């Protein structure tokens, strides 16, 4: 486990435009992406997984 300090200069806004209230020691998770792929592929890959997943 790693700890990091993150600064949000524009506040905490969700992808739906909803503002979140800041609290000290707000816990969260993050994914560090190291693959060098195009943005379009990065967007389409999860959609492809959802559409063609065999469950």
The pTM assigned to this predicted structure is 0.35
Beta strands in the chain (DSSP E): none
Domain count, the chain: 1
pLDDT at 12: 86
Residue 52 has pLDDT above 80, yes or no: yes
Domain ranges, residue 17: 1-55
Query: pLDDT digits over 4-48, tens only?
Result: 888 888 888 887 889 988 888 777 887 777 778 888 888 888 888
Predicted local distance difference test score (pLDDT) of residue 10? 84
Residue 54: pLDDT above 70? no
């Amino acid at each position: 486990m790693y700890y990091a300090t993150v600064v949000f200069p524009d506040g905490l806004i969700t992808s739906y435009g909803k503002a979140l209230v800041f609290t000290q020691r707000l816990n969260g998770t993050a994914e560090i992406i190291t693959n060098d792929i195009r943005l379009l592929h990065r967007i389409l890959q999860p959609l492809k997984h959802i559409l063609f997943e065999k469950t």
